[in-house]
Amino acid sequence: MITDQRHEQFMERIQRGEKIEATDWMPDEYRKLLLKLIHMHAVSEIMGAFPEKEWVPKAPTLKRKLAIMAKVQDEVGHGQLLLRVAEDLAAPLGKTREDLMEDLIEGRVKFHNVFHMESPTWADAGVIGWLVDGAAIINQAALLSTSYGPYARVLKRICAEESFHMQHGENIILALAGGSKEQRRMLQEAVNRWWESLIFFFGPVEVTDAARRMIDYRIRTKTNEELRQQFLKKYVPRIHSLGLTIPDPNLRYDEESEKWIFTEPDWKKFGEIVRYNQGPKSQERLKLRRFAHEDQRWVREAMVRSQKMQVV
C-alpha cells in the first residue's frame, strides 16, 4: 500500500515536470528502464571511440590529427560522464564500474548498431562525425528534457561538446566534397555504407512497450520515428546539396502526410548484430575493450594497492 502511494506521488512529481535524483525513491521499473538506457548510452560512447580511433594515426594533416584526437577523447569523456550516472543508479543493485564494464565485454549490454560497422576509409571518419554524430545529437538533444536530473545535467555538457563534433565532421566531409574525383567517390561510398545503419539507429517505427513506459515516465519525450523524421528533414537536403546521392530509391518527402518516406532497414539483420554482437566489427572492437579492461586489470589493482600502502 505504501508503495502504491509512493508510486502515485512519484508520478505526480514527474507530471509536474520535476526532476528525479539518484537518492530519491523511485519505482524499480523507472530505475531499470533508466539504467538500461544510460548504460547502453555510456558503453556506446566508449565503443564509438573505436571506429574513429582507427583513423587517428592516419589523419591526413596535423590539424586533422589534433582534431580527431580531441573528438575521440570527448567521446570517451562522454562515456565517463554517463558511466558515473549509470553507476549511481546501479549502486543500490550492488553494481559498480567494474560490473558495468564486464556487462559490455560479456555481451550483457548492447551498444549502438552503428559502432558494429566498418570504417574502411578516411571518408568514414568524416561521415561518422557528420551523420552518425548528427543522428546521435538529435537523440541526445531530445533527451535534454528527461525527468532524471543527473542524466539531464550530463547531457547538457555532452550536447555542448557535440556542437564541436558537428563542425569537425562537416569540415572533413566538406573538404572531401570539394576535393578530387577520388575524394568525392570515397565520400559517396561512405554515405552509401552508412545509410541503412543510420535509419536503423533510431530504432523501430512502432512504439514498443518499453518505449511507451519511458515516455510515461518522461525519461524520453519523443518517439523513435519523430526523431528519425527530424534527422531526415535536416540531413537529406544537405546530403543532396553536396551533389551526393542517398542509396534509397524510395526516399521522398510525402507532402500529404508531411513525412519522409524511406525504405525500412533490415530490422532482423541489425537487430541480431546488436543483440549477439555479430556485426562485421563487433568482436574485434570488443576485443579491444577487453584488452583495455581485463589485460590491464593489473594496473588498476596496483594503483589501489599502492594507495592502501600509503594510507597504512
Given the rule CB under 8 A, which residues bind another protein?
A: 21, 23-25, 46, 49-50, 53, 55-62, 64-66, 69-70, 72-74, 76-77, 79-81, 83-84, 87, 96-98, 122, 153-154, 157, 161, 175, 178-180, 182-183, 288-289, 291-292, 296-307, 309-310
Distance of alpha carbon 94 from alpha carbon 82, whole angstroms: 18
Residue with smaller CB distance to another protein, 263 or 296: 296
Radius of gyration of the chain (CA): 21
Strands, E assignment, the chain: 252-254, 259-261
Residue with smaller CB distance to another protein, 154 or 199: 154
Distance of alpha carbon 287 from alpha carbon 295, whole angstroms: 10
Q: How far is the CB of 145 from another protein (least distance, A)?
A: 18
The total number of residues shown for the chain amounts to 312
**Residue 240 grid cell:** 543532396
Number of CB atoms found within 10 A of residue 175's CB = 15
Distance of alpha carbon 14 from alpha carbon 63, whole angstroms: 46
Q: How far is the CB of 101 from another protein (least distance, A)?
A: 8
Contact at 8 Å (CB) between 213 and 221? Answer: no
Residue with smaller CB distance to another protein, 84 or 233: 84
Residue with smaller CB distance to another protein, 80 or 192: 80
Residue with smaller CB distance to another protein, 101 or 199: 101
Residue type (1 letter), 80: Q
Residue with smaller CB distance to another protein, 50 or 231: 50
Contact at 8 Å (CB) between 127 and 133? Answer: no
Q: How far is the CB of 84 from another protein (least distance, A)?
A: 5
Q: How far is the CB of 286 from another protein (least distance, A)?
A: 12
- Give which of 268, 269, 236, 267 is closest to 251, Cα–Cα: 236
Q: How far is the CB of 80 from another protein (least distance, A)?
A: 5
Q: Which residues pair with 261 in a beta bridge?
A: 252
Q: How far is the CB of 109 from another protein (least distance, A)?
A: 15
